[in-house]
Chain A
Amino acid sequence: MSLDYSLAANQVLQKFYLADQIDKLHLSLVSLLETVNQGEMELMLEQTPKTLREKVGYVKKVMEQVQSEELRMKLLEILDSGDLEFFDSKHFPDFLHAMQRRAEAIRVIKITVAIEFKDKDLHQMVSTLSTQLGRPVALEVTVDPTLIGGVIVRYGNYITDYSLRTRFTQFRSDWKQMSKQ
């Protein structure tokens, strides 16, 4: 095997930062594993006397059905590098299982923001959160202009509110209380 599947899995997962992507990745992995388990791929790549071109064509056809764009691109990249061995029955299922394990480890963090964030900012955010939490994270972003500014982060059993709306509300109640005093 020319490519370490574990490394490949990490490389693929670095591109994921949104919860939608993770959902699609899960579906894709399940779909691919089903295909592998059916034995069709093994038959095509190992048992049937096919030309290399035919084999590559078959793998490309399978990869085109993968829903997750990031995964598809990576797999096609590997295929284009001529590493057909990666897709055989010895390595490809291991790669898929490794991907699945890593995908399951990703924690989805729901954030609510006042304005739509750019990809670059979201990447930055994911990177920061991953470092802080010590585990890969993905974001589920909701836009709510009533927040005015800041962000509300929902992670696990907690919601942390950094929004301006809440801040102003706090300030209003503090102001009222102090005025009474």
Chain B
Amino acid sequence: MPKTQTPPESSTVKQLAQQLAESLPDTRMKPVVTEIGEVVYVGDGVVKIKGLPSARIEEVVDIDTGESITQALILGISTTLIEAVVLGEYLKIRQGNVVRSTGSVLRIQSGEQLLGRVVNPMGIPIDGRGAIRSSTYQQVERLAPGVAKRQPVVNQLETGILVVDATIPIGKGQRELIIGDRKSGKTRLIASLILNQKGRGITCIYVAVGAQKAKVRELEELLRAGGAMEYTCMVVGSSDDPPSLNYIAPYAGCAIGEYFMYGGQDALIIYDDLSKHAKAYRQMSLLLKRSPGRDAYPGDIFYLHSRLLERTARLSEDLKGGSLTGFPMAETQNGDLSEYIVTNLMSITDGHIYLDLNLMHEGIFPAVNSGASVSRIGGSVQPPCLRKVGELASTQMARYQEVKSFETLNTEISEDTEREIKRGKRILETLAQDYRFNMSNDEKILLLYIITAGKADNIEVVDVRKIKVELVEFYRKGSYPEFKEKAPVEKDIAVLEPLIMKIVQDYVAQSPVIGAKWLIGEKPAEEKPMPIVPDPSQPGAAPAEGEKKPAEGETKPEDAKTEAPKEGEAPAEEKKEETKPAEPVAEAPVAEEKKEEPAAETKPEDAKTEPPPTEESKPAEPVEEKKEEPPAVEVKPEPAPEPAAEPTPTEEAPVKKPAEEAAKPAEPAAETPATEEKKEEPKA
């Protein structure tokens, strides 16, 4: 190999110097000419300036206070004076201070260096993790990409939140408003949203406007603990910042997001929240003595938000095809969706997610009211099967919302309505999700298919809660590559059905939840009701005598009813058999505890008098019990003997109703014989 000759050091230096001299701009002495003005009025964060003949809107000017330089942003120019808002400390500004024009618009540093950091709206870090050394700057105010620079929103933004992805699908580049009363779980929803983006290659920007610092810190810790800060940047305008900083906070956050969008990446931005942003702008406008309009907001309040939200887009492939998805948030007052700013935002965005305080009080998290929420992008971004099951779930939920009030009425409900109520409850329970629990599309299809197909209708709600988590975890651990591959692309749900059932069967085979057997159409073995230790101090516990004999058969009044004809069968089989007729009564206490209290009245009371059963299936004993039982019933007429012991046909319906929820599709008629038997027992 020929050796390359290195030039002597001196010549290298000369070359370098020459290159530098050539490459450097004109080295002749050129004066720097700066326009100046003078402060003539100082208000709460606003100043009026005389001079600056070439100033323009959105330009940044430097105010020399003598001690330091404070920046201000020009918002208005009149014939004599210039109006500007101070971006920082304004208490040191005095009348007569020199104002220098910078000739540039406001810029904020951006880039990957900002990920994992918390900055103020000027891009200055406030998380105590040192300076940010980013070489790229983005304009805070920037024109939204034009029509030609965009392309339709067709890719789904997976939020990992079942209810959102299934019923309110969101596409990359969409703007989805999140609205709800205070304390309705808005921040929790977005925390979940950010946490769920882990590993999905989406950069998140969280913008807080007028937020409490403690809450921001809390959220930061939460995200950091979940490893989400690696791809997240927080821009914080706190409640003690001047309104000008809160005003620019969303624009600054958007500028950071645009860096990623124009770089061909996918990003999402959350504005928490734009109601406060509007208030900050209103405050500024009033201080600048601009005419107030509706609710004292200035006339350009709509443009304030529309120009911000138009900057979220999915760029065309020529511009690298990046996207910025916007999640503006707005706070409603007592669920009022007709508030000025909320309606403005609703008209600007491509849909909204409504968080219902009532749902939250019911313990449903996220408290998304899927009926009142909408996504104008539609199902075009969803996997076909998820779209189908999602639509089905929405329909069933809508029906449930219509008929759920019937449940509380003391009337007889048709079987269909009852099934709809049951289904709705289970869907609602399935849609509830822990904010740390992330779901992929195949998992969502799996769960929603099972629920919407009615396979979980007979499972108690508490069990549904367990099953939905266990099933997903089981699926994740197991190996079902075919379903995993097909689920996101398959158009026909019938193709997926056998695959889903295979997963379900495997799950049921190992599930500790007894009720899970309903998923494969099998009726689970009866669960033993928990024995209640009698309280000797209570008068109802008087029949101590009955303790001996009915003790064994306490759980078996129902057993006896069915077991009697099948004495010859093996105990295990017997157990299966016996549950069929007994099931409605046996399941009732667990399924709908509150409502089934009256129905279960006879049994728990019996239990009071009896110690826990030692043996379960003794064919002969129930026959004895039948004889023993009447005294037990007879002894307790004091609390409410009549309705419990001898339910009349009119009383039976409301009593039966909740119990039927759990078991009606199986054997609705089984209950009547059981009660009839009870009636007959005392007679016997």
Chain B residues bordering chain A, tally (CB within 8 A): 18
Considering only CB atoms, which chain A residue lies closest to B23 in the complex?
A178
In whole angstroms, what is the CA distance A178 to B20 when docked? 7
In whole angstroms, what is the CA distance A85 to B33 when docked? 50
Query: Which of A5-13, A75-83, A160-168 lies at the interface with chain B?
Result: A160-168
A162 contacts which chain B residues (CB < 8 A)?
29, 31
Considering only CB atoms, which chain B residue lies closest to A169 in the complex?
B32
Q: Is the CB of B52 within 8 A of A157?
A: yes
Q: Is the CB of A181 within 8 A of B23?
A: yes
Considering only CB atoms, which chain A residue lies closest to B19 in the complex?
A178
- Does A105 interact with chain B (Cβ within 8 Å)? no
In whole angstroms, what is the CA distance A166 to B32 when docked? 8
Q: Is the CB of B35 within 8 A of A157?
A: yes
- Does B53 interact with chain A (Cβ within 8 Å)? yes
The distance from the CB of A166 to the nearest CB of chain B, in whole angstroms, is 5
B32 contacts which chain A residues (CB < 8 A)?
160-161, 166, 170
The distance from the CB of B324 to the nearest CB of chain A, in whole angstroms, is 28
Instruction: Report how many A-B pairs have Cβ atoms within 8 Å.
Output: 40
Sample of 19 more A-B contacts, CB < 8 Å, known A157-B53, A167-B29, A171-B27: A154-B36, A157-B35, A157-B36, A157-B51, A157-B52, A158-B33, A158-B36, A159-B34, A159-B35, A159-B100, A160-B33, A161-B31, A161-B34, A162-B29, A162-B31, A170-B32, A175-B24, A178-B20, A180-B135
The distance from the CB of A164 to the nearest CB of chain B, in whole angstroms, is 9
- Does A46 interact with chain B (Cβ within 8 Å)? no
Q: Is the CB of B34 within 8 A of A158?
A: yes
Q: Is the CB of A174 within 8 A of B25?
A: yes
In whole angstroms, what is the CA distance A154 to B64 when docked? 14
In whole angstroms, what is the CA distance A171 to B21 when docked? 11
The distance from the CB of A151 to the nearest CB of chain B, in whole angstroms, is 9
Considering only CB atoms, which chain B residue lies closest to A180 in the complex?
B135
- Does B37 interact with chain A (Cβ within 8 Å)? yes
A157 contacts which chain B residues (CB < 8 A)?
35-37, 51-53
Taking each of A159, A160, A170, A181, which has the highest tally of chain B beta carbons within 10 Å of its own beta carbon? Answer: A159
The distance from the CB of B16 to the nearest CB of chain A, in whole angstroms, is 10
Contacting A at CB under 8 A, from B32-83, are: 32-37, 51-53
In whole angstroms, what is the CA distance A180 to B136 when docked? 13
A158 contacts which chain B residues (CB < 8 A)?
33-36
In whole angstroms, what is the CA distance A174 to B30 when docked? 14
| Leading 3 A-B pairs by shortest Cβ distance | A161-B32, A159-B34, A157-B51
In whole angstroms, what is the CA distance A166 to B29 when docked? 10
In whole angstroms, what is the CA distance A181 to B52 when docked? 35
Considering only CB atoms, which chain A residue lies closest to B50 in the complex?
A157
A171 contacts which chain B residues (CB < 8 A)?
24, 27
17 contacts between A and B (CB under 8 A): A157-B37, A157-B51, A157-B52, A158-B33, A159-B34, A159-B35, A160-B31, A160-B33, A162-B29, A166-B32, A167-B29, A175-B20, A175-B24, A178-B23, A178-B24, A180-B135, A181-B23
Q: Is the CB of A159 within 8 A of B33?
A: yes
Considering only CB atoms, which chain B residue lies closest to A170 in the complex?
B32
Q: Is the CB of A159 within 8 A of B36?
A: yes
Q: Is the CB of A174 within 8 A of B24?
A: yes
In whole angstroms, what is the CA distance A154 to B35 when docked? 9
The distance from the CB of B579 to the nearest CB of chain A, in whole angstroms, is 78
The distance from the CB of A167 to the nearest CB of chain B, in whole angstroms, is 6
The distance from the CB of B62 to the nearest CB of chain A, in whole angstroms, is 11
Contacting B at CB under 8 A, from A66-110, are: none
B31 contacts which chain A residues (CB < 8 A)?
160-162
A161 contacts which chain B residues (CB < 8 A)?
31-34
B37 contacts which chain A residues (CB < 8 A)?
157
B24 contacts which chain A residues (CB < 8 A)?
171, 174-175, 178
In whole angstroms, what is the CA distance A171 to B28 when docked? 11
In whole angstroms, what is the CA distance A162 to B34 when docked? 11
A160 contacts which chain B residues (CB < 8 A)?
31-34
In whole angstroms, what is the CA distance A159 to B23 when docked? 29
In whole angstroms, what is the CA distance A171 to B32 when docked? 13
Considering only CB atoms, which chain A residue lies closest to B33 in the complex?
A160
The distance from the CB of B80 to the nearest CB of chain A, in whole angstroms, is 13
The distance from the CB of B53 to the nearest CB of chain A, in whole angstroms, is 5
Considering only CB atoms, which chain B residue lies closest to A154 in the complex?
B36
In whole angstroms, what is the CA distance A115 to B636 when docked? 110
The distance from the CB of A165 to the nearest CB of chain B, in whole angstroms, is 11
A175 contacts which chain B residues (CB < 8 A)?
20, 24
In whole angstroms, what is the CA distance A167 to B31 when docked? 8
B35 contacts which chain A residues (CB < 8 A)?
157-159
In whole angstroms, what is the CA distance A154 to B27 when docked? 24
In whole angstroms, what is the CA distance A155 to B568 when docked? 115
Contacting B at CB under 8 A, from A128-181, are: 154, 157-162, 166-167, 170-171, 174-175, 178, 180-181
The distance from the CB of A67 to the nearest CB of chain B, in whole angstroms, is 24
The distance from the CB of B64 to the nearest CB of chain A, in whole angstroms, is 10
B36 contacts which chain A residues (CB < 8 A)?
154, 157-159
B 380-423 to A, binary, CB cutoff 8 A, 1 in contact else 0: 00000000000000000000000000000000000000000000
B51 contacts which chain A residues (CB < 8 A)?
157
The distance from the CB of A86 to the nearest CB of chain B, in whole angstroms, is 40
In whole angstroms, what is the CA distance A175 to B24 when docked? 7
In whole angstroms, what is the CA distance A7 to B20 when docked? 58
B33 contacts which chain A residues (CB < 8 A)?
158-161
In whole angstroms, what is the CA distance A180 to B34 when docked? 28
Considering only CB atoms, which chain B residue lies closest to A179 in the complex?
B20
Considering only CB atoms, which chain B residue lies closest to A161 in the complex?
B32
Considering only CB atoms, which chain B residue lies closest to A181 in the complex?
B23
In whole angstroms, what is the CA distance A162 to B33 when docked? 9
A167 contacts which chain B residues (CB < 8 A)?
29
